[in-house]
Structure 1
């Protein structure tokens, strides 16, 4: 399990999206504050979209504390990048939880402080509303609309 999670994040750090998504079970369920719940191919396409949007840009990933507990695994990872809509630098610290089936990741849950992320990405406006459920719902609607658009092209 730890080897698979390490493979996933090493591929992410190397911008190797297809190796990343090969770590996912076909019925994977992914969840995070920005996208909400994504299942199967849509979860894989989210990583493809994020990778494509960062090509040629400063986008650094690091990970640590990969630990397994029975049929689960946890890890911490960090992303440093410039938010495309504002150009503001973001340093997001994420905690990840994984569950496995058939030797692959069946469930992946990322948690991070959305208010802190919004403050970095959008400045004062993000600080003002970034901690509200209204903001989270609006963000998820926007990110999923971008994913819909990506999937039509992909």
Structure 2
């Protein structure tokens, strides 16, 4: 495998995490519309905001690394929140699951040592920032779901 192929594999792995964050944002957006104002504010602060920041940072990290290495950049699209649900809890649970998946993808990527072997300091810093934001949302998600409606 060439270095260019390995770097593309690294970007593909990062893209999987970005796609999971997009799913989380879509489902959190649907849940937001079904929540009361207090819960909307909490969702924005505790889950949506950190994931939105992580999503933006991950895209910038992806595209900056691709540009530095002469690889194709990518535009990430919005995704569907899935089948319609009447309950905000269903959307929130889907979103939390997507956050969990995003964090798992980032952990797998970092554990693979690909960012060390084929990446650069800027990529590693970007991944660390993204993972911290996603971990923050993941940590808060359990409390958010437990206290929803109280």
Higher strand share: 1
> Which one has a bigger Cα radius of gyration?
2
Give the TM-score of the pair, scaled to structure 1.
0.29
Give the TM-score of the pair, scaled to structure 2.
0.30
